[in-house]
């Protein structure tokens, strides 16, 4: 089959590789319907994470079940399924506590930019829809595999509540999905920090009430002007850099909350500064699986349309251009058709 | 009047100083009924915080109002009052959001180990009791000025809920009050980490169900054994050292919460480690004022008896021995009688 392999920073190729097979009785094999490129894939592409040897890429997927292992009874061949980028058994103490992305049997997906994918922990990971969804819903359903669920978690971790004020740091696909989540969870004011006109437009369409283009101290000052001088109730940190984390922590009111979902690179938090800020902080790989039933419903109802974050669609064969366009910020997010 | 002054690490004296006076119309002057030495006073005493010049000490107090400024109408001379170590107007956005210890007009107390004390922001800071409480209640009421309120905040920040499992890191007065708070908030299992027999006894009396004497990796392993292998729902970090913070973070289950109330000294938190832990973190100077009405009620009802943390009572003149006894861990906490 055809699959994406990274050989070195900047060197993404589509190659012939063996089709995946059932290895454990808890596995399933799916045929990928659509997949995509994630902002976090760019860490390796940009050389900010080491690429020690060539390896497959991709962790977002929707597909048709081809085959299931002997212990998988919850889905069956032919069904359309969505799953999380982090697999989970859905029965361990962490899954039951609402954190399937910290399942004791978790395996992170990493081979999804391909025609077929092996899904470990398939029983707990995959959610089937009642029927094969219409083509126009596929992009939105695909976002539930990661970015929309991650934006949702950012908003939940930041404790967005009805009537609250939220700031979203980062205007990538996750940040834009964070705007949707803040809106759905009832935020009254949603301040999107963005410097890119097309992303600002999408943020406003998704529910942002204010756009702040300034960054650093100026950006913080602007947020405070908009929030009684004290900062926002909830801040969604959707980048993962030290600058973004500082932006987030200093934009939050005492007693407010930061939800951080950008994988931190070089981020260290000073204990005393955090202490005196009174800001609550929670992050991590989003427990996407826990949100799937709810979010699938919202997509099928037409209530949310996170698929709009895809502004470039390419055949899988052109995945390299998909990475390049995102790296150069010509695209917010690239959808790939195997 | 007689007042405590620190001249250098280890050098605590009682001296004659001028009586405080009303400076602002929002001030009050109280005559100290009882005051005490805080674990955080030991940072300077031990030379872990600089003592650039001689300065007064003490931030915990109950007293009788002597005089009020022209804008203070909520308390009047002759009343018995309790207030927080952090003064607050109780009207600013941060006060209204439940964080009076981050009041925009906050001034930290620091002159309370003395016969008389000036209280800034008296209107918002002081809470009067209906009558002068019985002598045997004074120690418990005094703890509400800081340590009991701080233990309460640790439990609230760690989101202790009915039926949950809580770990308390630190067996000083705040940690012991944290045990009381966890019990009152309904924790089913309360694991106190302590190596000192007298403190273990008090922790058990206050509601601890388990004692862990091990520290570091062994202590973490012991907590996990007691908590389904995943860690506790809530961990109260009541020390402020890097070791204590690591102990707390690693003793918490994914999705659980750490409330940290020991003023951090040298604590840095790795963003990526916090991210993958899924642990929620909130700390800060406790919003003691917000808890006073509730906690005063619990003390007057005899429901809680946090005054038991005082195992040494001295006249103010012997304050130096009070510090020494705590520094040498001969005393948990020293009560001072002016």
Give me the pLDDT at residue A72, please: 98
Q: How many beta carbons lie within 10 A of that of residue A293, not counting itself? A: 9
Average pLDDT per block of 10 residues along chain B, 338 residues long = 97 98 98 96 93 96 98 98 98 97 97 98 98 97 98 98 98 97 98 96 98 96 96 97 97 98 94 98 98 98 98 98 96 97
User: Best residue in B255, B257, B264, B266 to probe A by mutation, most A CBs within 10 Å?
Assistant: B255
> A286 to chain B nearest CA, in Å?
9
Dihedral pair phi/psi, residue B282, rounded to 5°: -150, 140
- Cα separation of A68 and B243, whole Å? 47
> A267 to chain B nearest CA, in Å?
5
Q: Do A269 and B264 touch (CB under 8 A)?
A: no
User: Best residue in B159, B275, B287 to probe A by mutation, most A CBs within 10 Å?
Assistant: B275
The CA-atom distances, in angstroms, between B179 and each of A149, A293, B193, B206 are 37, 39, 11, 6
Low-confidence ranges of chain A (pLDDT < 50): none
ipTM above 0.85, yes or no: yes
Give me the pLDDT at residue B163, please: 98
DSSP string covering B20-31: P---STT-EEEE
- The pLDDT tens digits of the residues spanning A135-154 come to 999 999 999 999 999 999 99
Give me the pLDDT at residue A45, please: 96
* CA B218 from centroid of its chain's CA atoms: 28
Q: Do A275 and B283 touch (CB under 8 A)?
A: yes
Domain B2-146+287-337 in CATH: superfamily? Medium-chain alcohol dehydrogenases, catalytic domain (3.90.180.10)
Domain range summary for chain A, segments of one domain joined by +: 2-146+287-337, 148-283
Dihedral pair phi/psi, residue A225, rounded to 5°: -55, -35
Give me the pLDDT at residue A252, please: 98
Q: Do A255 and B283 touch (CB under 8 A)?
A: no
Nearest CB to A283 within list B93, B257, B274: B274
> A246 to chain B nearest CA, in Å?
12
Chain B: residues touching A (Cβ < 8 Å): 93-94, 97-99, 101-102, 104, 157, 228-230, 242, 245, 253-255, 257, 260, 263-272, 274-285, 287
Strand locations in chain A, DSSP E?
Answer: 2-8, 11-16, 28-36, 55-56, 61-68, 80-82, 116-119, 127-128, 165-169, 189-193, 210-212, 232-237, 252-260, 268-270, 280-283, 312-315, 334-337
Chain A: residues touching B (Cβ < 8 Å): 93-94, 97-99, 101-102, 104, 157, 228-230, 242, 245, 253-255, 260, 263-272, 274-285, 287
- Among 3.40.50.720, 3.50.90.10, 1.10.10.1150, 3.40.640.10, name the CATH number for the domain at B150-283: 3.40.50.720
Helix (H) / strand (E) element for B192: namely strand B189-193
Query: What's the CATH architecture for A148-283?
Result: 3-Layer(aba) Sandwich (3.40)
Q: Do A157 and B280 touch (CB under 8 A)?
A: yes
Q: How many beta carbons lie within 10 A of that of residue A54, not counting itself? A: 12
Give me the pLDDT at residue A201, please: 97
SS3 state at A242: helix
* CA A105 from centroid of its chain's CA atoms: 21
Q: Do A93 and B230 touch (CB under 8 A)?
A: yes
- The pLDDT tens digits of the residues spanning A317-332 come to 999 999 999 999 999 9
Give me the pLDDT at residue A178, please: 98
Nearest CB to B253 within list A97, A265, A266: A97
Give me the pLDDT at residue A227, please: 95
Mention every residue, 6+ apart, whose C-beta is less than 8 A from residue B243. Answer: B215, B216
Cα dihedral B282, B288, B293, B297 sign: positive
């Amino acid at each position: 089959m055809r699959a994406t392999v990274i050989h070195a920073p900047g060197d993404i190729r589509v190659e012939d590789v063996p089709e995946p097979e059932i290895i454990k009785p808890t596995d399933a094999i799916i045929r990928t319907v659509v997949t995509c490129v994630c902002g976090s894939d760019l860490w390796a592409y940009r050389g900010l994470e080491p690429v020690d040897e060539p390896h497959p890429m991709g962790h977002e997927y929707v597909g048709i079940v081809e085959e299931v292992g002997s212990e998988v009874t919850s889905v069956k061949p032919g069904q359309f399924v969505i799953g999380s980028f982090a697999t989970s058994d859905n029965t361990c103490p962490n899954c039951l506590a609402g954190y399937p992305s910290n399942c004791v049997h978790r395996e992170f997906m990493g081979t999804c930019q391909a025609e077929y994918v092996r899904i470990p922990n398939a029983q707990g990971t995959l959610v089937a829809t009642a029927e094969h969804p219409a083509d126009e819903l596929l992009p939105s359903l695909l976002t539930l595999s990661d970015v929309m669920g991650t934006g949702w978690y950012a908003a939940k971790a930041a404790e967005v509540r009805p009537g609250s004020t939220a700031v979203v740091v980062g205007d990538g696909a996750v940040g834009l999905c964070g705007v949707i989540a803040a809106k759905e969870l009832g935020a009254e004011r949603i301040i999107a920090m963005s410097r890119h006109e097309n992303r600002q437009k999408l943020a406003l369409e998704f529910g942002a009430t204010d756009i702040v283009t300034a960054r650093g101290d100026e950006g913080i000052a602007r947020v405070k002007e908009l929030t009684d001088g004290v900062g926002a109730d909830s801040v969604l940190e959707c980048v993962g850099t030290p600058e973004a984390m500082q932006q987030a922590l200093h934009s939050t009111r005492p007693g407010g909350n930061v939800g951080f979902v950008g994988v931190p690179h070089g981020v260290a938090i000073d204990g005393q500064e955090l202490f005196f800020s009174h800001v609550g902080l929670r992050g991590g790989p989003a427990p996407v699986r826990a949100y799937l039933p709810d979010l699938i419903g919202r997509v099928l109802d037409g209530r949310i349309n996170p698929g709009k974050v895809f502004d470039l669609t390419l055949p899988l064969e052109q995945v390299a251009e998909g990475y390049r366009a995102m790296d150069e910020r010509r695209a917010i997010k690239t959808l790939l058709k195997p």
